Amino acid sequence: SKPRVWVSRPFFPDIVDRLRPFFEVDAESEEQRFSSADLATRLADADAAIVGLAERIDVAAIRQAKRLRFVANLGVGYNNLDIEALSAAGIGASNTPDVLNETVADYAWALMLAAARRVGEAERWLRAGQWHGSRFEGWLGTDVHGKTIGILGMGRIGQAIARRAAGFRARVIYHNRSRLPAAVEQACAATYVDKAQLLTEADHLILVVPYTPESHHAIGEAELQAMKRSATLVNVARGGVVDDVALARALARGTIAAAALDVFEGEPALHPSLLALDNIVLSPHIASASRDTRRDMAALAVDNVLAAFGHGPHAGRPPTILNPGVLADAS
């Protein structure tokens, strides 16, 4: 009989259909949040799973998953996967790098521009029927062109964000665990600085670091204090990279001018103090959500599962496997 694949979130039926010749497909028909018990039940008779970022695949989740051989994550960040536990159990895992770089970079710019130029705040005011003539000194925002853009986390998404700065004649500084090769720095016209300098010099600071124990609350009260009072902060990385409570306090006090968040600690719940602020743009984790890119991400997840079971153009070599050692051990 065919192996079973569990698909935790509904997506593009034509892409799911590519699994059907080779798998019994157990695809959820609605978005839902799985309790750890639900998750264990779903995984118990699955040979493969395609999961979203809300599904935590950890030791508890895979304890009963005796048949599970592969987990494909619908996202580039994979802090929801315990890679060590998966590897120890001989289960391969993949993510969706690269296909979303340019789309996430577009969105980071959208958030930066919206926060710096107060787009959301002005629209709310207009929709509330408050526009009865404007003040010449009303709605003053901060320019983006010609300013210094700081990027914390200079992977491929960070580099795509940096490349966009050329048209704005903006300077780009970055901080990363490891400095990029000179040729890469040149290609995206970005200058390496230490974290302290990044905080003090950036007019607009964009966070693109993966969420790890080291990046937990990388931006908290002290870091916000170090930033310019006119600065904008953008988080398209993960909730938890920013201390949301400290940020809300800083925005209320004018420690920095504005922020834009696509990700939150404990999402989809938001800290209520964020909702009370006007100088913040809030969006529901949609940085990669363009029609083309979400299809590409789904297709890449499916390609990984097919390949892990010896099918498709990458048979035997899942194209974006995170723990390739598992394959070596199996052969």
- Provide the binding-site residues for ligand GLV, judged by CB under 6 A: 53, 75-77, 100, 153, 155-158, 208, 210, 288
d(CA 140, CA 297): 39
**To the nearest whole angstrom, how small is the minimum distance from the Cβ of residue 210 to ligand GLV?**
5
**To the nearest whole angstrom, how small is the minimum distance from the Cβ of residue 55 to ligand GLV?**
13
**To the nearest whole angstrom, how small is the minimum distance from the Cβ of residue 315 to ligand GLV?**
25
In the complex with ligand GLV, the residue whose CB is nearer, 156 or 314, is: 156
In the complex with ligand GLV, the residue whose CB is nearer, 156 or 217, is: 156
Q: Active-site residue 69, yes or no?
A: no
**To the nearest whole angstrom, how small is the minimum distance from the Cβ of residue 288 to ligand GLV?**
5
| Beta carbons within 10 angstroms of residue 80's beta carbon | 19
Residue nearest to ligand GLV (CB): 155
In the complex with ligand GLV, the residue whose CB is nearer, 288 or 323, is: 288
φ/ψ of 4, rounded to 5, equals -105, 135
* Length of the chain, in residues: 331
d(CA 75, CA 151): 21
**To the nearest whole angstrom, how small is the minimum distance from the Cβ of residue 157 to ligand GLV?**
4
Active-site position among 18, 175, 238, 294: 238
CB 189 within 8 A of CB 56: no
CB 236 within 8 A of CB 228: no
SS3 letters for 208-246? Answer: CCCCCCCCCCCECHHHHHHCCCCCEEEECCCCCCECHHH
Active-site position among 9, 171, 267, 271: 267
d(CA 59, CA 153): 28
Q: Active-site residue 267, yes or no?
A: yes
Q: What is the dihedral of CA 273, 276, 281, 285, to 10 degrees?
A: 50
d(CA 331, CA 313): 19
The strand pair at 171-175 and 148-152 is best described as: parallel
In the complex with ligand GLV, the residue whose CB is nearer, 208 or 231, is: 208
In the complex with ligand GLV, the residue whose CB is nearer, 24 or 98, is: 98
Give me 20's structure tokens: 């059907």
In the complex with ligand GLV, the residue whose CB is nearer, 257 or 300, is: 300
CB 288 within 8 A of CB 99: no
d(CA 92, CA 326): 6
Q: Which amino acid is at 22?
A: F
**To the nearest whole angstrom, how small is the minimum distance from the Cβ of residue 4 to ligand GLV?**
25
Q: Active-site residue 9, yes or no?
A: no
DSSP run (H or E) holding 73 = strand 70-73
Provide the annotated active-site residues.
Answer: 238, 267, 285
